[in-house]
């Protein structure tokens, strides 16, 4: 089970900012299905609409056409990695202090949340939510005494530790910030005279906006009076972009970290074919997770590509569903086999990753029941052996099958004739990160955390931690 973090969208200088933000969030819906929100500024007042559920369920024509007025807007879709699944935790999180109306939308996860929260509460800060993003707001409010807003944001960002891409709407300006290591993606674009910002370029494509560039790691952009200004929030740090964006999370039609996701996933499959060839009748994915890597494997190996499992497109991604009961139901109804393609066949399945292995085990068992002669699996990423502390909710080492079992043991557990994971070297080669210091976070594979997950008041250990804090 993998859970994603969040999706961000912002726009400055468009007469229908709320509607454009709705479309942007709609394009980013794959990044979270738990809640959605939009905040707008009309030159006089700030307006908001937030709710639990899908983008199409949270917003109506009344919201987009009448209530969310203004030419400036930020939006957020969420799956909770820190904080419970509650309406009060929906973002953008909106506060008012002094002359400022401030809304924050955050993608990522802070590792020193508890330490900072205790420090702020000791200084009489009152928290309204259980999300780590609220810590950033309180820090900004604290530093505003005697500082400009931009200075306060920079000071707050230098106080927090972890991953963050931020969009802040403060009265008549949008501020965008990306953490110094660039762990989470954030793109800048143009739509006519309007500036747009989004987690992925697929949000730009829907409204025919032009992608300009990524917000650089450690960069703060300030958009006001239709002007764009860039600031550094700190000295340059080693870049460690989340490689799982390219493996799994980002939409294949997006460009992330300067890479076309579709091409990188296909290359992972090609590399797999060279690393671990197998004598099989055909290659297949379990839709839609290993689809593009399976295409690459097929093309590189010469094995036919087939779709022996057909997806019901009216069932969402299982890992994003908040309820365990709903996840189990989704597994049962999500895929249906083409039985004539399975009996007596030697099948090679290409998957993008294995976390617990329980879902894949159920699917492989079904293929066995339908008479598959051999079932082999190739995985387009290395074994996930370590928790992620930066926003992907496989945050406990105890839930990772590869942390405790060998590849052969995992193959036996799932019911496979053979299993091979893409090597770390093969992954880096596939994402063109095989420089002396690859610009990707690989901590979930090798345990090398660019930001230490333990210490400084974060009471946890790698063996059995859960950072999904739910006070």
The pLDDT value given to residue 315:
59
The pLDDT value given to residue 330:
58
The pLDDT value given to residue 461:
37
DSSP state of 134: H
The pLDDT value given to residue 5:
64
Residue 378 burial class via C-beta count within 10 angstroms: exposed 0-12, middle 13-18, buried 19 and up: buried
pLDDT, tens digit (0-9, with 9 covering 90-100), for 453-470: 754 333 343 443 333 222
Q: How many whole angstroms separate alpha carbon 306 and alpha carbon 310?
A: 10
Domain 6-240: homologous superfamily in CATH: Aminohydrolase, N-terminal nucleophile (Ntn) domain (3.60.20.10)
At the second CATH level, the architecture of 262-432 is: 3-Layer(aba) Sandwich (3.40)
The set of catalytic residues is 6
- CB-based contact 209:255 (threshold 8 Å): no
Q: Which two tokens stand for residue 165?
A: 């891409």
Rounded mean pLDDT for each run of 10 residues along the chain, 471 residues in total: 71 96 96 93 92 93 92 89 62 87 93 86 76 89 90 96 96 96 97 97 96 97 96 96 94 94 97 97 91 97 94 60 54 78 96 91 93 97 92 68 94 97 96 78 93 54 34 25
The pLDDT value given to residue 328:
52
Please enumerate, by residue number, every residue annotated as part of a binding site for [4Fe-4S] cluster. Answer: 242, 388, 441, 444
The pLDDT value given to residue 463:
40
Q: How many whole angstroms separate alpha carbon 128 and alpha carbon 256?
A: 33
The pLDDT value given to residue 126:
76
Q: Do domains 6-240 and 262-432 have the same CATH topology?
A: no
Q: Which two tokens stand for residue 70?
A: 């203004």
Please give the model's pTM, rounded to 2 decimal places.
Answer: 0.88
Q: Domain-by-domain residue ranges, the chain?
A: 6-240, 262-432
Helix 133-143 and helix 149-159: axis angle, to 10°? 130
What SS3 class is residue 198? strand
> What is the full DSSP assignment across 390-450?
SS-S---GGG-GGGTS-HHHHHHHHT-SEEEEPPHHHHHHHTT--SSS-SEE-HHHH---S
């Amino acid at each position: 089970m993998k859970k994603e973090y969040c999706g961000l969208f912002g726009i400055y200088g468009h007469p229908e900012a709320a509607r454009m933000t709705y479309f942007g969030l709609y394009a980013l819906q794959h990044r979270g299905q738990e809640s959605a929100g939009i905040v707008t500024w009309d030159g006089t007042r700030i307006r908001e609409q937030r709710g639990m559920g899908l983008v199409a369920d949270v917003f109506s024509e009344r919201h987009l056409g009448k209530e969310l007025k203004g030419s400036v807007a930020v939006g957020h879709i969420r799956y909770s990695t820190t904080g419970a699944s509650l309406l009060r935790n929906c973002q953008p999180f909106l506060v008012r202090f002094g002359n400022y109306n401030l809304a924050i939308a955050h993608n990522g996860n802070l590792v020193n949340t508890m330490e900072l929260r205790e420090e702020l509460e000791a200084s009489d800060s009152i928290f309204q939510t259980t999300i780590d993003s609220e810590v950033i707001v309180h820090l900004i409010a604290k530093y505003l005494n005697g500082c400009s807003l931009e200075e306060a944001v920079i000071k707050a960002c230098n106080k927090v530790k972890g991953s963050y891409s931020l969009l802040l709407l403060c009265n008549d300006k949008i501020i965008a910030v990306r953490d110094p290591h660039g762990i989470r993606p954030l793109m800048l674009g143009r739509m006519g005279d309007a500036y747009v910002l989004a987690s992925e370029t697929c949000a730009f494509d829907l409204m025919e906006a032009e992608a300009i560039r990524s917000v650089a790691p450690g960069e703060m952009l300030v958009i006001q009076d239709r002007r764009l200004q860039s600031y550094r929030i700190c000295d340059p740090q080693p870049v460690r972009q989340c490689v799982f964006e390219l493996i799994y999370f980002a939409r294949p039609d997006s460009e992330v970290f300067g890479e076309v996701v579709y091409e990188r996933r296909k290359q992972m499959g090609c590399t797999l074919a060279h690393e671990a060839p197998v004598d099989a009748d055909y290659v297949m994915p379990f839709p839609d997770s290993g689809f593009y890597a399976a295409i690459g494997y097929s093309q590189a190996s010469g094995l036919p590509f087939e779709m022996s499992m057909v997806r019901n497109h009216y069932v969402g991604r299982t890992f994003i569903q908040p309820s365990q009961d709903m996840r189990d139901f989704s597994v049962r109804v999500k895929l249906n086999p083409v039985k004539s393609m399975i009996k007596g066949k030697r099948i090679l399945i290409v998957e993008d990753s294995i976390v617990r292995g329980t879902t894949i085990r159920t699917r492989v068992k079904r293929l066995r029941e339908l008479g598959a002669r051999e079932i082999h699996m190739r995985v387009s990423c290395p074994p996930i052996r370590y928790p992620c502390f930066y926003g992907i909710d496989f945050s406990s080492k105890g839930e990772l099958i590869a942390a405790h079992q060998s590849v052969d043991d995992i193959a036996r557990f799932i019911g496979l004739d053979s299993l091979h994971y893409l090597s770390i070297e093969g992954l880096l080669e596939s994402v063109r990160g095989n420089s002396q210091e690859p610009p990707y976070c690989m901590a979930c594979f090798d345990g090398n955390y660019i930001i230490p997950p333990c210490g400084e008041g974060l009471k946890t250990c790698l063996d059995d931690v859960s950072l999904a804090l739910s006070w």
